Amino acid sequence: MYNIVKYWTKIILCDNKRFIKIVYNMLCEDILDRPTCKNWCSLLRDMLFTLGFADVWYSQNVGNVKLFLMSVKQRIKDQSLQDWSSRLDNSSRAGFYKHFAVFRFQPY
């Protein structure tokens, strides 16, 4: 997810005459014309919305790229930890184990 967002920042910052930007703009127009259309831009948009960056998608501007990418990476980690914790809490097989284990990213 992080690499997709990082690539997207490169696309939105490049010159409008570059081929990748032309194709990107076509894909964006396509999802405006047909809201049920599924393409790379619509999946990216949904991912940004899930991460809480809807305003970035609408403005098509990230501001400070380095700071934005750090925020994206942190939110991806936070959401994955929340999802993991939720699945663990709802698991009947891990009822005993979750009382003794420490669940966080391990520095392997």
Per-residue pLDDT of the chain (108 residues; tens, 9 = 90+): 999 999 999 999 999 999 999 999 999 999 999 989 899 999 999 999 999 999 999 999 998 999 999 999 999 999 988 888 888 778 777 777 767 766 666 676
Enter the pTM of the model: 0.78
Does residue 41 contact residue 24 with C-beta atoms inside 8 Å?
A: yes
**Residue tagged 């098509």 (tokens):** 60
Helix %, strand %, coil % of the chain (to 5): 70, 0, 30
Distance separating alpha carbons of residues 90 and 98, to the nearest angstrom: 11
Does residue 94 contact residue 88 with C-beta atoms inside 8 Å?
A: yes
DSSP symbol at 91: -
